[in-house]
C-alpha cells in the first residue's frame, strides 16, 4: 500500500476523505510522522512550509493543487529532478469560464457604466453593440484559454486566441509565437489574459501592448499579477485607452491597502477567486492520473521546467 501525504492549509479533512474514497488502495496521511519512517512516494501540496518537501522520505511525484506552479518553482524547495504535476481539472476550467463570461458580458452590455449611473441618480442610456461587432482576444489557448475562446466565439464575438505554439480552435482566429502577438492584440475591444507565468510572459501587459488595443477597451486578467505592469494599466485607464480593467490577481496578495487599484473608478477587483480549485473535481483528476501512472501510462500534465509550466 503506497502512501500519499496531503499538505494543505484549508479543507484538509475534505481532501483527505475524498482522496481515500477515490484511492482506497493507498494510505492517506496529513503529517510526516504518520509515515513512521516509511517511504512516501506521493505528496499533494499547495504552498508547503519551508523544509517540508526535502524531509519527505522516498518522494517520487509532487501533485500541485494549483494550476500555477511558479510559487513552487521559485521557492527552491522542490528537490532537483522531482516531477511536478500541475492541476488541470474540469472544476478550474468551468470556474474560469464563468468568471470571464460574467466580466466580459458585464462590460459588453454596459453594466459597469449603468451601475455608476444608478449610484449618481442618472438615467443615461448608452449605445449597445452586438457581440458580432466586438473583437475579443484571449491570451493563452491551453486548458483554460481554449475553452474561454470557444465559448466567446459561440456567442458570436469576433474571437482571436494567441499562444506560444500553434493551436486550432473551431471558430477562433489562432495566432502564435512572438510574430503573432501584435496582430492578435491590435484593435481588440476585450483583452483576456489567461497565460501561465514564465520569464517570457512576465510584464507582458505593458504600455506598448496596451497601446495596441481599441480605444475604450477592457482588460480582463485572470492569469497572474506579474503579467501586468500596474503603472501601465493605470496610465491606460487615465488616457482612455482602457475603459475598464477587471483584475483577479495581483503582484502582492492581498492587494496592499495603499494600492491605487483599490480606488481607481475604472478598476474592478475580485480577490483571486476567478477559478478556485474544487476539491471534488481536483481529487478526481489526481486519482485518475495516478491510477493510470501506476498501471503503466505516462503521467499527464507534468511541468516542463524548460518552458516554466
User: Are β-strands 190-193 and 135-139 bridged in parallel, bridged antiparallel, or unpaired?
Assistant: parallel
What are the φ and ψ backbone dihedral angles of 176, each rounded to 5 degrees?
-150, 165
Indicate the SS3 state at residue 156.
Answer: coil
pTM score of the predicted model: 0.94
Known catalytic residues? 224, 272
* DSSP string for 283-294: HHHHHHHHHHHH
Q: How far is CA 11 from the centre of its chain?
A: 20
- Closest of 126, 118, 155, 102 to residue 268, by C-alpha: 102
Residue tagged 480549485 (cell numbers):
277
From residue 245, give the alpha-carbon distance in Å to each of 236, 269, 270.
10, 8, 11
List, in order, residues 6 or more apart from 39 with CB less than 8 Å away.
3, 57, 58
Torsional sign, CA 211, 109, 246, 11: negative
- Closest of 45, 69, 74 to residue 59, by C-alpha: 45
The conformational region for residue 11 under phi > 0 = left, psi -120 to 50 = alpha, else beta, is left
- Closest of 196, 188, 204 to residue 165, by C-alpha: 196
Indicate the SS3 state at residue 161.
Answer: strand
Instruction: List the chain pLDDT tens, one digit each, 309 residues.
Output: 999 999 999 999 999 999 999 999 999 999 999 998 899 999 999 999 899 999 999 999 999 999 899 989 899 899 999 999 999 999 999 999 999 999 999 999 999 999 999 999 999 999 999 999 999 999 999 999 999 999 999 999 999 999 999 999 999 999 999 999 999 999 999 999 999 999 999 999 999 999 999 999 999 999 999 999 999 999 999 999 999 999 999 999 999 999 999 999 999 999 999 999 999 999 999 999 999 999 999 999 999 988 889
What are the φ and ψ backbone dihedral angles of 150, each rounded to 5 degrees?
-65, -40
The cell numbers describing 258, all together, are 495603499
Could you tell me if 206 and 232 are in contact, meaning their C-beta atoms sit under 8 angstroms apart? yes
Torsion angle, CA of 207/210/216/217, rounded to 10 degrees? Answer: -150
- In the chain the domains, ranked by start, together with CATH numbers, are 3-89+277-294 (3.40.50.720), 93-269 (3.40.50.720)
Amino acid at each position: 500500500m503506497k502512501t500519499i501525504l496531503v499538505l494543505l492549509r484549508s479543507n484538509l479533512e475534505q481532501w483527505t476523505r475524498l482522496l481515500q474514497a477515490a484511492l482506497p488502495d493507498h494510505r492517506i496521511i496529513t503529517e510526516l510522522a504518520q509515515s513512521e519512517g516509511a517511504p512516501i512516494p506521493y505528496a499533494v501540496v499547495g504552498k508547503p512550509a519551508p523544509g517540508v518537501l526535502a524531509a519527505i522520505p522516498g518522494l517520487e511525484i509532487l501533485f500541485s493543487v494549483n494550476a500555477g506552479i511558479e510559487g513552487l518553482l521559485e521557492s527552491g524547495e522542490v528537490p532537483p529532478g522531482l516531477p511536478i504535476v500541475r492541476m488541470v481539472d474540469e472544476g478550474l476550467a468551468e470556474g474560469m469560464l464563468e468568471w470571464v463570461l460574467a466580466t466580459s458580458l458585464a462590460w459588453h452590455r454596459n453594466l459597469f457604466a449603468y451601475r455608476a449611473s444608478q449610484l449618481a441618480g442618472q438615467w443615461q442610456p448608452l449605445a449597445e453593440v452586438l457581440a458580432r461587432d466586438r473583437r475579443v482576444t484571449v491570451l493563452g489557448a491551453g486548458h483554460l484559454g481554449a475553452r474561454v475562446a470557444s465559448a466567446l466565439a459561440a456567442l458570436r464575438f469576433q474571437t482571436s486566441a494567441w499562444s506560444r505554439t500553434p493551436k486550432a480552435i473551431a471558430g477562433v482566429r489562432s495566432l502564435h509565437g512572438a510574430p503573432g502577438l501584435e496582430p492578435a492584440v491590435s484593435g481588440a475591444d476585450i483583452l483576456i489574459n489567461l497565460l501561465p507565468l514564465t520569464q517570457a510572459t512576465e510584464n507582458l501587459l505593458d504600455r506598448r501592448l496596451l497601446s495596441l488595443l481599441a480605444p475604450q477597451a477592457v482588460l480582463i486578467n485572470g492569469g497572474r499579477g506579474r503579467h501586468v505592469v500596474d503603472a501601465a494599466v493605470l496610465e491606460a485607464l487615465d488616457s482612455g485607452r482602457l475603459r475598464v480593467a477587471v483584475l483577479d490577481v495581483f503582484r502582492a496578495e492581498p492587494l496592499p491597502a495603499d494600492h491605487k487599484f483599490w480606488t481607481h473608478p475604472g478598476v474592478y477587483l475580485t480577490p483571486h477567486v476567478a477559478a478556485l480549485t474544487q476539491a471534488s473535481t481536483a481529487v478526481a483528476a489526481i486519482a485518475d492520473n495516478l491510477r493510470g501512472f501506476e498501471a503503466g501510462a505516462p503521467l499527464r500534465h507534468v511541468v516542463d521546467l524548460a518552458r516554466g509550466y
